[in-house]
Structure 1
Amino acid sequence: MSEVGAAISGIDIAVLIAYFVVTIIIGVWVAKTTETGDDLFLAGRALTWGVIGFSLFASNISSTTLIGLAGAAYSAGISVSTYEWMSGVPLIILAFVFAPLYLRSRITTIPEFLELRFDRRSRVYFSLVTILLSIIVDTAGGLYAGSVVLKTFFPDLVIWQVCLGLGLFAGIYTAAGGLKAVVYTDVLQAVVLIFGSTLMTIIMFGELDYSWARVVEAAPAGHLSMIQPLDDPQLPWLGIIMGVSLLGFWYWVTNQYIVQRVLGAKDLKHAQWGAMLGGFLKLIPLFTMVLPGAMAIVLLPDLPNADMVFPTLVTTVLPVGITGLVLAGLVAAIMSSVDSTLNSASTLVVHDFIEPHHPEFKPEKVGRYGQVTTLILMVVAIAWAPMISNFGGLWSYLQQAFSILVPPIAAIFLIGVFWRRGNGDGAFWSLVVGHSVGLVVFFAGQFGYWPIHFTINVGIMALFSTVVFVVVSLATAAPDAEQIERTTWRPEIAIAEGTLGGAWYRNLKIQAGLLILAMLAVLIGFW
């Protein structure tokens, strides 16, 4: 690691400092226009499609994504990128089905939609689970992972001090500027990420004389294929069908810290165009973050630790200055994940638990509560982040643990907006029973009693949760007709005015069709 750190030049550090300065300027500028709760949580509901699309992309890319995608491609193959390029599917569903319902409902949080569709029990349950995961897993995990990654470049850094510095930096500008500060810094971060990773890919490919054949020859059998056998430990083909699609649905359609950008859209048209842009941008990581890991097999054939692929490439392949730019992209990935989760968690706390008990609060007071809540959650995340190292192997199970969280949520959202008979009892007990049984299945898997890949478990548990939802709903009273009318999907609400006529590139259906074709091209090209 010391060799990696020694490769960082003064020019690279200057580029990093310049990135921080620009981020501070954006945060201060936005903070001046942030006054009310609507400003803090939803950017005044004024976000346009370009900002939404780039922010969706940046908030999704974390430091562990950059390190993990390259490392997984180096050691196990490119099938892991399925999580990236398949994001277009749930984003299309978001655009055509859920964005119209969310914006018509004028909600601030996703759990709030559950109360409108079902009842308050489901809202409180889902909100508590989301807040806990946002702070303990996403925010603290992002700080810790980012600190570990930065330590590979700067070995003298102390983990807790880096967690503190990153947390304070992201927390303060998020508390001051809210979602608007988050999304505008996300645009900067997305540009830096895309530009830096693309440059690295081009330079690496040049080192190979732009010969893909050399990569194919050096790669083990099946390494460059998306579709893997049923017994593949990383991602079996059945897991793509049963798990990746549902995990993606939860992440892109029901996850507060992602969907908050869409809730803050200027109108439905911008929300839908932003979702489509996000889908196209998610095709990029395969080529700029995954394939470099595959190409590294030729350039760095004997690395003992696959997670060192990205740091080693940055410090050995890239020229001075560009190294600093890619490092800025790495810091950008850390910041965009941390600021997004902080803002979404504070939104949930204030809007789902404080405002309902204090309807007399003025918008300005709600905004102050949101800022204080953000700072408190920031302190909790900073304090917890260094503790993660004590969990050892347990932390590696967290990705698999999402197989517990996702299935009941996916079931009640997907079935609930189409099946008008689904009711509050069905939704609540689907969450409770689905998560309880999912927890049993998870631990059974850890001790070898349930040897089924977690992505396949997602599909099995989603089916089980659907059965619970349907059976309990049919056994209890039907929901209110007016409630159903406002919160279930109909074809006539799917398309925003102004997204079908005019130039072809403004046509939402054409955009969705092109995105589907692009995903099919990736699948066929790397089958």
Structure 2
Amino acid sequence: MNGGSPLGSWDVAIILVYVVVIIAIGLAVSRRQRTASDYFLAHKSKTWPVIGLALLASNISSTTLIGLAGAAYDHGIAVFDYEWMAGVVLVFFCIFLLPFLLKTGVYTTPEFLERRYDRRSRLLFSGLTLFLNIAVDTAGTLYGGALMFQLAFPAVPMGVIVLLLALGAGIYTTAGGLAAVMVTETIQAVLLLTAAAVIAVMAFSQAGGWDAVMAATKPEMLSLIRPANDPVLPWTGLVTGVPLIGFYFWCTNQFMVQRVLSAKSIDHGRWGCLFAGLLKLPVLFLMVLPGTAALLLFPGLPRGDLVYPSLVFKLLPAGVVGLVVAGFLAAIMSATASTFNSASTLVTMDFVRLRWPHLGEKRLVTTGRLATLAFMALAVLWAPQISRFGSLWQYLQAILAYAVPPVVALFLVGLFWARANATGAFAAFAGGLALGLGLFVYCVVLGHGGPHFLLMAPVLVLASALILVVVSLATGDGKPGTGQSKEGAALVWTPAVFRAETATLAGQPLWMNYRVLSLGLVGLTAVLVWWFR
């Protein structure tokens, strides 16, 4: 051991080698970043395996590893509902929204809102995304990582650990942009899945095997479909709030969608999304159910957030601990790098380039690098404050449920209703955001209670959509596209779009047809949900 640390010398060596190799690869890729497209969209040359693995690595952060196992320990496996729903949401994304995003050639999802509505919506959405990227995504990831590494290095203060984690991901992100992030994410995703598999096997082995864990666990703890009065994840929230939050996260959140915007073609973008949805299904066995096994291994833990660190440091032999901690570090670095890069893209493309449209390519890249450094500092300062909230998972989901409904309303209504206009969009965004903030302060901050946050999300989406419809009708002249950008009317899905796509897919082999692959993914998801209903 090293100074009270549960890590042996071999463990520390493995972790250090991993960090050095990942940073070296990221810096090597950075040498080829010459233009804004290179830096922010990775040359628009990525293929589906890279996109799928990058989406997984960006999504599976330290908050996910700690949060999923901890929630399963405290409340049961219903937390996996967020994971399997990702595949369903990504199928929707592939059919309806993804083609428009790639067709417009945008750098950011807020830029797409400007194409559909106007600049006001773009700036509001970009500002909200920046806040959520730092206060929720990056800070949550760094805090979750610090929780575990404090157990590994108890003498090191949390603030120092957070700083080191941010620097590790920030070095190559600042230098290499999205290309460096995605190349390292591909490696990190493989290591992450390997480490998760090692923990799952060891947890079930030490707990007496699959049958022993299933027999000793209460049936309600093994159910994905919970009663309507369930305090954690009621089935009413599953069919309403979970898909709406999932739509924001997978279809509009810059740090996820940016990976899809790097696709070399629409087909590769779609295949990459579906591959990511497929990779989410084993998460139940690799990251959720080990938390259930921990009920037998570590009964009486004071907090669910301690389950994952306990599995790592109390079950695994020396050397293997180093591999698993390197996988955990991979999750931290990939998710942190993703949010740093997306935040710098938003600042550069949605604010700086709009203010100075003639800024050269090198200046834009430099601006992106400086923005990355600034967001590193902000995330490091905020991350320790998360300890003031309840569990890490509760912190993440509750903020999203109150903050993102206006975004969901603007995208969904605008995608299917041509008469949604710019004035209506601005009113819905501002009004929905103010309503969500007010309710968050009243219900969560002041502790007055209220509906479950998963039930609050659809209410806020409907309220925002209603404002959008009413104001659009009041300010338009009855014609589709009135009061919005000229391009807006062309960014509305119609049956004609589906028919044209059908003709295009007619000559494609079934194994390449994204519709067939989508049906297969939904079918596998349904089987898994039915098994643990």
On whether the aligned pair clears a TM of 0.5, the verdict is: yes
Q: Over residues 310-361 of structure 1, what are the superposed CA-to-partner deviations in whole Å (9 max), with x where a residue is unaligned?
A: 1111123223222111101111111111111111111011101111122222
SS at match of 1:319: coil
Q: Find the aligned partners of 2:216 and 2:242 in 1 and give their Cα distance.
A: 29
Closer/same/farther in 2, CA of residues 496 and 367 from structure 1, 3 Å limit: farther
Match for residue 514 of structure 2 among 508, 513, 518: 508
In structure 2, the partner of 1:113 is: 112
Query: In the TM superposition, what is the alpha-carbon distance from 1:473 to its structure 2 partner?
Result: 0.6
Q: Over residues 464-496 of structure 1, what are the superposed CA-to-partner deviations in whole Å (9 max), with x where a residue is unaligned?
A: 111111111100022458423431124565659
Closer/same/farther in 2, CA of residues 500 and 344 from structure 1, 3 Å limit: farther
SS at match of 1:222: helix
| Structure 1 residue 66 corresponds to structure 2 residue 65 | yes
Query: In the TM superposition, what is the alpha-carbon distance from 1:4 to its structure 2 partner?
Result: 12
Closer/same/farther in 2, CA of residues 418 and 131 from structure 1, 3 Å limit: same
| Structure 1 residue 22 corresponds to structure 2 residue 21 | yes
Closer/same/farther in 2, CA of residues 62 and 411 from structure 1, 3 Å limit: same
Closer/same/farther in 2, CA of residues 259 and 327 from structure 1, 3 Å limit: same
SS at match of 2:168: helix
Query: In the TM superposition, what is the alpha-carbon distance from 1:412 to its structure 2 partner?
Result: 1.0
SS at match of 2:264: coil
CA contact (8 A) 1:16 1:324 kept: yes
CA contact (8 A) 1:59 1:186 kept: yes
In structure 2, the partner of 1:274 is: 272
Query: In the TM superposition, what is the alpha-carbon distance from 1:88 to its structure 2 partner?
Result: 0.6
In structure 2, the partner of 1:426 is: 424
In structure 1, the partner of 2:315 is: 317
Q: Percent identity?
A: 43
CA contact (8 A) 2:5 2:151 kept: no
In structure 2, the partner of 1:148 is: 147
Q: Find the aligned partners of 1:99 and 1:359 in 2 and give their Cα distance.
A: 27
In structure 1, the partner of 2:247 is: 249
Q: Find the aligned partners of 1:89 and 1:457 in 2 and give their Cα distance.
A: 21
In structure 1, the partner of 2:490 is: 486
Moved more, 457-466 or 252-261: 457-466
Query: In the TM superposition, what is the alpha-carbon distance from 1:65 to its structure 2 partner?
Result: 1.1
CA contact (8 A) 2:66 2:144 kept: no
Query: In the TM superposition, what is the alpha-carbon distance from 1:400 to its structure 2 partner?
Result: 1.1
SS at match of 1:86: helix
- 2:301 partner amino acid: L
Query: In the TM superposition, what is the alpha-carbon distance from 1:168 to its structure 2 partner?
Result: 1.6
- 2:439 partner amino acid: V
In structure 2, the partner of 1:220 is: 218
Q: Find the aligned partners of 1:330 and 1:294 in 2 and give their Cα distance.
A: 19
Moved more, 306-315 or 478-487: 478-487
Q: Find the aligned partners of 2:503 and 2:294 in 1 and give their Cα distance.
A: 48
Q: Find the aligned partners of 1:387 and 1:75 in 2 and give their Cα distance.
A: 23
CA contact (8 A) 1:407 1:462 kept: yes
Query: In the TM superposition, what is the alpha-carbon distance from 1:388 to its structure 2 partner?
Result: 4.3
Query: In the TM superposition, what is the alpha-carbon distance from 1:148 to its structure 2 partner?
Result: 2.0
Q: Over residues 280-317 of structure 1, what are the superposed CA-to-partner deviations in whole Å (9 max), with x where a residue is unaligned?
A: 01112111000111112222233333222211111232
- 1:256 partner amino acid: Q
Moved more, 259-268 or 194-203: 194-203
Closer/same/farther in 2, CA of residues 5 and 287 from structure 1, 3 Å limit: farther
Query: In the TM superposition, what is the alpha-carbon distance from 1:234 to its structure 2 partner?
Result: 1.0
- 2:241 partner amino acid: G
Closer/same/farther in 2, CA of residues 266 and 435 from structure 1, 3 Å limit: same
SS at match of 2:358: coil
Closer/same/farther in 2, CA of residues 10 and 370 from structure 1, 3 Å limit: same
Closer/same/farther in 2, CA of residues 60 and 387 from structure 1, 3 Å limit: same
Output aligned runs, 1:303-452, within 5 Å.
303-389=301-387, 391-392=388-389, 397=395, 399-446=397-444, 447=446, 449-452=448-451
SS at match of 1:7: coil
Closer/same/farther in 2, CA of residues 449 and 312 from structure 1, 3 Å limit: closer
Q: Over residues 57-94 of structure 1, what are the superposed CA-to-partner deviations in whole Å (9 max), with x where a residue is unaligned?
A: 01011112111111111121000111111101111122
Closer/same/farther in 2, CA of residues 500 and 165 from structure 1, 3 Å limit: farther
Closer/same/farther in 2, CA of residues 312 and 397 from structure 1, 3 Å limit: closer
Closer/same/farther in 2, CA of residues 505 and 205 from structure 1, 3 Å limit: farther
Q: Over residues 252-297 of structure 1, what are the superposed CA-to-partner deviations in whole Å (9 max), with x where a residue is unaligned?
A: 0000011000111111111111111111011121110001111122
- 2:527 partner amino acid: A
CA contact (8 A) 2:224 2:532 kept: yes
SS at match of 1:223: helix
- 1:172 partner amino acid: I
- 1:141 partner amino acid: G
Closer/same/farther in 2, CA of residues 380 and 301 from structure 1, 3 Å limit: closer
In structure 2, the partner of 1:87 is: 86
Moved more, 481-490 or 334-343: 481-490
Closer/same/farther in 2, CA of residues 3 and 113 from structure 1, 3 Å limit: same
Q: Over residues 350-383 of structure 1, what are the superposed CA-to-partner deviations in whole Å (9 max), with x where a residue is unaligned?
A: 1011111222222222112211221222222223
Moved more, 395-404 or 18-27: 395-404
CA contact (8 A) 2:115 2:485 kept: no
| Structure 1 residue 300 corresponds to structure 2 residue 295 | no
Structure 1 portions without partners, runs of 5+: none
Q: Over residues 78-135 of structure 1, what are the superposed CA-to-partner deviations in whole Å (9 max), with x where a residue is unaligned?
A: 0011111110111112211111000111100110011110011100111111112212
Q: Find the aligned partners of 1:461 and 1:481 in 2 and give their Cα distance.
A: 26
CA contact (8 A) 1:5 1:152 kept: no
SS at match of 1:408: helix
Q: Find the aligned partners of 2:3 and 2:523 in 1 and give their Cα distance.
A: 41
Closer/same/farther in 2, CA of residues 312 and 450 from structure 1, 3 Å limit: closer
Q: Find the aligned partners of 1:511 and 1:334 in 2 and give their Cα distance.
A: 30
CA contact (8 A) 2:63 2:140 kept: no
Q: Find the aligned partners of 2:278 and 2:332 in 1 and give their Cα distance.
A: 22
SS at match of 2:222: coil
Closer/same/farther in 2, CA of residues 195 and 501 from structure 1, 3 Å limit: farther
In structure 2, the partner of 1:522 is: 528
Q: Over residues 374-400 of structure 1, what are the superposed CA-to-partner deviations in whole Å (9 max), with x where a residue is unaligned?
A: 1222222223334444x4559864531
CA contact (8 A) 1:441 1:450 kept: no
CA contact (8 A) 1:170 1:335 kept: yes
SS at match of 2:25: helix
CA contact (8 A) 1:37 1:365 kept: no
- 1:223 partner amino acid: M
In structure 2, the partner of 1:285 is: 283
In structure 2, the partner of 1:49 is: 48
> Number of paired residues?
524
In structure 1, the partner of 2:479 is: none
Output aligned runs, 1:171-186, within 5 Å.
171-186=170-185
- 2:442 partner amino acid: A
Match for residue 261 of structure 1 among 247, 256, 259: 259
| Structure 1 residue 38 corresponds to structure 2 residue 44 | no
